[in-house]
Amino acid sequence: MNIRNASQPRRGFLLGLGVAGASLVLSGCGFALRQAPTFAFKTLSLEGNTALINQLRRELRAAGNVRLVPKEEAGTADAVLVVLGEDRDRFVISTNSAGLVREVQLRLRARFSLRTPGGKELLAASEVSQTRDLSFNETNALAKESEADLLYRDMQADIAQQLMRRLAAVQSL
């Protein structure tokens, strides 16, 4: 029997003991995976037809505990989410010595409010924004535009997640 083979069972035992210890420490400190959000309302109407609204609609359907009501039937919903505006901005943040753009900052801002069909304001008009920095090279302009579109979609997904957390923070109607 080789000495290296004899230490294999001990190494496996110690590895298993380490994994078990780590899981006990994590569960003891209160760590838990994020659960599906719970909302104070059972039905929700979304006003607006933007890519952000479509992303939020997908997120709410995936959560599964809110029924989406068409905007034509918004009066029957427990709450109405109104997207007041969505802005995409692009700023130059650095140039080279020749004055050519080297880096841009992309920003996506969304303004929204949550109210009951009767007009009671549950969430006052608020703004959520995301920014991303993008290096720029004029020889790869088409590829950089595709990358910017991908970053905007990523920011939309992040904003939709932030909106989900804000909607879940509403305690009562």
Number of domains composing the chain: 2
Residues 64 and 144 placed together within one structural domain of the fold: yes
Give the containing element (helix H, strand E) for 150: helix 141-169
Q: Global pTM?
A: 0.75
Provide the domain limits for residue 159.
37-169
Instruction: Give the start-end residues of each E strand in 6-160.
Output: 43-47, 67-69, 79-95, 101-115, 121-135
Q: Which residue has the higher pLDDT, 70 or 130?
A: 130
Residues 58 and 125 placed together within one structural domain of the fold: yes
Residues 98 and 136 placed together within one structural domain of the fold: yes
Cα–Cα dist 67/8, whole Å: 54
Residues 94 and 139 placed together within one structural domain of the fold: yes
pLDDT given for residue 33 in this prediction: 66
pLDDT given for residue 1 in this prediction: 52
- Domain with residue 95: its CATH number is 3.30.160.150
pLDDT given for residue 110 in this prediction: 93
What is the percent of the chain with per-residue pLDDT over 90, rounded to a whole number? 29
Residues 53 and 13 placed together within one structural domain of the fold: no
pLDDT given for residue 26 in this prediction: 66
Cα–Cα dist 44/68, whole Å: 5
Q: How confident is the model at residue 132 (pLDDT cuts 50, 70, 90)?
A: very high
Q: How confident is the model at residue 14 (pLDDT cuts 50, 70, 90)?
A: confident
Q: How confident is the model at residue 127 (pLDDT cuts 50, 70, 90)?
A: very high
CA distances in angstroms from 108 to 30, 104, 138, 152, 164, listed in the order given: 34, 13, 23, 7, 17
| Parallel/antiparallel/unpaired status of strands 121-135 and 67-69 | unpaired
Q: What is the pLDDT of residues 47-96, one digit of tens each?
A: 888 888 999 999 888 888 888 888 888 888 889 999 888 999 999 999 88
Q: How confident is the model at residue 148 (pLDDT cuts 50, 70, 90)?
A: very high
Residues 74 and 11 placed together within one structural domain of the fold: no
Which residue in 66, 23, 26 sits closest to 46, CA to CA?
66
pLDDT given for residue 34 in this prediction: 66
pLDDT given for residue 118 in this prediction: 87
State the chain's mean pLDDT as an integer: 85
What 8-state DSSP symbol labels residue 108?
E
- For residue 21, is pLDDT > 80? no
